[in-house]
Amino acid sequence: MKRGLTIVCLVTLLLATLLGVAYAAPPQQEGQEYVVQADDWLSKLAEKNYGDVLAWPVIWKATSAKAEEDSSFATIPDPNVIEVGWKLWIPDETEAAMLLEEFAAERAEASTVGSADITGELNLLCVVELDWCEGQVAEFNKLYPGIVVNWARLSSGESLTRLRNEAANPQFDVWWGGPVDSYIAAAQEGLLEPYESPNAVNLRDPNLMKAEDNSWFGIYIGTLGFATNSNYLAEHPEVSAPTSWDDLLKPEWEGQILVAHPSSSGTSYTALCTILQMRDEEAAWQYERALANNVLQFTKSGSAPARFVGAGEAAVGIVFSHDIVKQIGAGLPLTLTFPQDGTGYEIGGTAVVKGAKHPELAKLWVDWALTPGAQELGPKYNAFQAPTVIGAEASRPELLEVNLINYDFDYCGSNKKALVDRFTNEIANADSLKE
């Protein structure tokens, strides 16, 4: 049966542990066929047969090999999803150990060692927070000190507009950060250059975390949450921090909510597209109108509401949870909650820009961005998104332990312009956004 993103993120932790699997379960003397039952997933079967949830890749790889010879076995393009009735192959202990070694070797080859001999200029369009942009560039230069990285930080919506406007003469070589909804839209408009990165093998879920034509790759995961000012809650004991989307429509939050505008912010667009997927179309737009009535002001940046709410300028902000955690760490009085009825999430992307003036250097950045070392740097620069690659450990795994909707990235990316235009024309314009 289908399993959510959380499971893969939680069970595919540090790859190094795979080689030290201690088989707590009785050794399996021979390989065997297995038909998927309700409530099965690969990590559960790995624990049952090998005594360790992290041994799931052996079943995935062994079944895929069998499927090439015998069509009765399942083809598993996405190890995060197995269906009831599929026939799997459970390898014996000897074969399992061999497959684990192969799996580890593939990831060992998918690494970036850097070089002082490579020189040139790289123009980076960065969408994450400023301190992470600065830090990531500095870390890249430790590996490639001969590459001068010129970079600019823009919001997700601004970056897509910039790429559109410069399509005839691109000023950036590589795009890094921001929800892949924008990348999907950009790819459909011919703004991205497909690139078969050798490090894509690191991705936990290639079916979900990269474009089919390799025009973009996922580099982090973030979940939507609510930031409520803790002092406001203490001063107003009659209200509670919101724990559902409908809670935001309550009269006590009138004029007390901050959220970014979806024309400039990937965070806000993710929230908009979440509501559109949780309700039928007209009900979703009715919800957006009602929510807008409670919004004090729309911001330009998706992370800004957490900062403003923490400063007491409003009571509640709709923000990615990692941005809320960052502000809590900075000492702001914020309470983090999640909508229990389901929340959307982002996969942050990276891509080579079509027509890039320095495409080979752009590819070096993309390759590096798909390594565990690069993805574990976030917390060093107050960024707590979860990684997308095997071998990188989430610094705040609890941010994924929430009720995630089955977010349709293709739908949101393909319809971004139309949905943003409708929001701007019918709900709220983008004039005078708070910065």
Residue 99 pLDDT:
85
Contact 385, 221 (CB under 8 A): yes
Of 11-20, 48-57, 60-69, the poorest mean pLDDT is in 11-20
Six-digit token pair at 285?
């737009």
Six-digit token pair at 358?
């320095």
Query: In terms of C-beta density within 10 A (0-12 exposed, 13-18 middle, 19 or more buried), how is residue 145 classed?
Result: middle
Amino acid at 3: R
Which of 234, 237, 192 has its CA nearest to residue 217? Answer: 192
Amino acid at 281: E
- Calculate the alpha carbon distances from 287 to 118, 249, 280, 316, 427 in Å: 53, 8, 10, 17, 10
**Which tens digit of pLDDT belongs to each residue from 64-75?**
899 999 999 999
Q: Between 56-69 and 42-50, two packed helices, what is the crossing angle to 10 degrees?
A: 100
Residue 46 pLDDT:
86
Number of C-beta neighbours around residue 421 at 10 A = 12
Six-digit token pair at 39?
């409530």
Number of C-beta neighbours around residue 84 at 10 A = 12
- Calculate the alpha carbon distances from 127 to 141, 152, 159, 175, 328 in Å: 19, 8, 7, 8, 21
| Whole-structure pTM value | 0.79
Average pLDDT, integer, range 54-83: 86
In this prediction, residue 109 has a pLDDT band, given cuts at 50, 70 and 90, of low
Q: Which H or E element spans position 255? A: none
Residue 108 pLDDT:
61
Contact 260, 305 (CB under 8 A): yes
Query: Strand 217-229 and strand 345-353: pairing?
Result: antiparallel
Of 41-50, 89-98, 385-394, the poorest mean pLDDT is in 41-50
DSSP string, 120-163: EEEEEEE-S-HHHHHHHHHHHHHH-TTEEEEEEE--HHHHHHHH
In this prediction, residue 80 has a pLDDT band, given cuts at 50, 70 and 90, of low
**Which tens digit of pLDDT belongs to each residue from 324-382?**
999 999 999 999 999 999 999 999 999 999 999 999 999 999 999 999 999 999 999 99
Residue 291 pLDDT:
98
**Which tens digit of pLDDT belongs to each residue from 159-183?**
999 999 999 999 999 999 999 999 9
